Structures are given as C-alpha cells and as structure tokens.
Chains A and B, each alone.
Chain A
C-alpha cells in the first residue's frame, strides 16, 4: 500500500503515524512537507496527522487548511484516494471543508488526554471493515478542540447516511451526539479525534487502532 503523511510546522503525531503505517502495512509512507504542491504518484492513502499545525493560530486547522499541499490533497480525495485525518488532521479536514461541521473547544474547557471507549457505528467503510458494527473499542484521545458541532440538518444527514462511524461510549468533550469520527459523502475521507496510530501493538497497551489500518490494506487488495 502506498501512503503519504502530510507534515505541517507543528505536527507532532506524524512520526507515530509513519511508524504505525510501516508496522501494519509493511511499507514506509512518504512524508510530504506542507509547502509541497504535489503528492507522490499512485497513492492509496493520505494521512493528515495530529499536532498543533501553525500553532493552532486563528482556529485549530485553519492555517493548515490553506497550505499549498492541501490543494493536492483535495484533488486526490476528489479522485477517490482514501484520506484519514486524525485529531488536528480532523480539524484541518473540517476547516478545508472536506468534511462538514467544526471542532470547537472541549465543553469542559480542559485538554482531554486519556483512553476512551468508542462504539463503531458503521463497519461498511474501508476504514472500519475490520471492525464489527456496534463493537466497542478503546483508543486514546488527546485534544483541546474536539467538540464536534454542526447544524441539526447536517447531523441528521450524517446519521441517516451512516457517516457517523465512531461515537464516544460516554461523554468526552461535548460533541454533538457523541460524534468521534465522520465520513465524507463518498466514504473515502474519514476524520476522527481519537488516535488509532497510538494503539497498534501490545507495547502500546491498546491495539484497537490496528484494524483500521488493516482494513485499508485489505481495501487495496493486500491481505493484512
């Protein structure tokens, strides 16, 4: 599987993501700097990692959404390449309008850094094919702005179309309807606040994130 991880000034989960991808897929991802206006040819997966791109200036993800590389990322996503945004990556994809809604300051104001239980609501996507629908998994979260908000109409549409793929099993950050991860309309873009890359092997203490990458691997025809 050919993958790329986008690196912004202030990204800090890019190397964790690269390690996870290499561990699970067997291939090292290309690390693409935010100023690059082109992506490597023939990508199966692009990941926008967590961190504090551009110091979270103005709004989390707002500056990164306008960086040169994002034009190429948008174009690739439009052509069906799988695109995963984790944590700050989710904020970037929302700011870039690749996903609906916005991620606001946590309702409890505090930064939340702990393992949380999630329900897999949709196991039909390439990202979640290796999970069971309704299954409860545990992944770490570490964010200040993870409070997902959108208007009622948008929320209803997301629910109706099965685009809410991960939901917090209990209250974490005030997100509307407990939303932890959503898909775009075409189903090839996933944004999620929890960190699957921090839960891929026994040494992490948690390994529920591993199957997300295995599912993607399977989707491109490589058995995990």
Chain B
C-alpha cells in the first residue's frame, strides 16, 4: 500500500464551484438575458438567473474544509451569493 501522502501528491483533482445569486436577490443580468431570449422568439422562458462556474485544478488531498474556505473567503460573496462545490472525477 502506498502512503497516503504520496497518493495525495500524485492524484490531481478537478473541482467545479457553482456560484449563484441568493434567492430574492435581484439579478439584472439574468433579466437582460431573459429579455434577449424573448427577443429571439423563445416563448415560455419564465425566468433566468445568471451565475458563475469556476473550475479548480487542485491536489488530490484537498479537503472539503479547504474548499469551503476558498468559497467563503474569495470565490463567493456570501452576502449575496450561494456556492456549491462539485468534485469531478478526472478521466484517466
């Protein structure tokens, strides 16, 4: 068995952080996109909310707690935004 430390160094990992506006926070960009879709003739769009997708390439050993910290301290502004961390399996 390989020591855990080596495994951590060896395996990189992709993480997707989804940043979205909190419910109830007005989203002018989403509104503009909505209007543009209607302008293109797409009926039946009831609402649009725009957010951000941030992809991180991190060391395999990166903990959930560290990822949380990254979100809280920089990637999202928790006054107005929510975030969701998604670990992505790297295709070999």
Contacts and interface: CB of A to CB of B under 8 A. Distances in A.
Contact of B28 (A102, A109, A150): A109
What's the dominant secondary structure at chain A's contact region? loop
A162 interface: no
A187 interface: no
A66 interface: yes
Nearest to B24: A151
Interface residues of B, number: 11
Interface string B75-87: 1010110000000
Interface in B39-92: 74-75, 77, 79-80
B29 A59 contact: no
Given A66-B74, A104-B26, A107-B26, A150 B32 contact: no
B79 A102 contact: yes
B74 A109 contact: no
Interface of A: 58-59, 62, 66, 94-95, 100-102, 104-109, 147, 149-151, 174
Interface of B: 25-26, 28-29, 31-32, 74-75, 77, 79-80
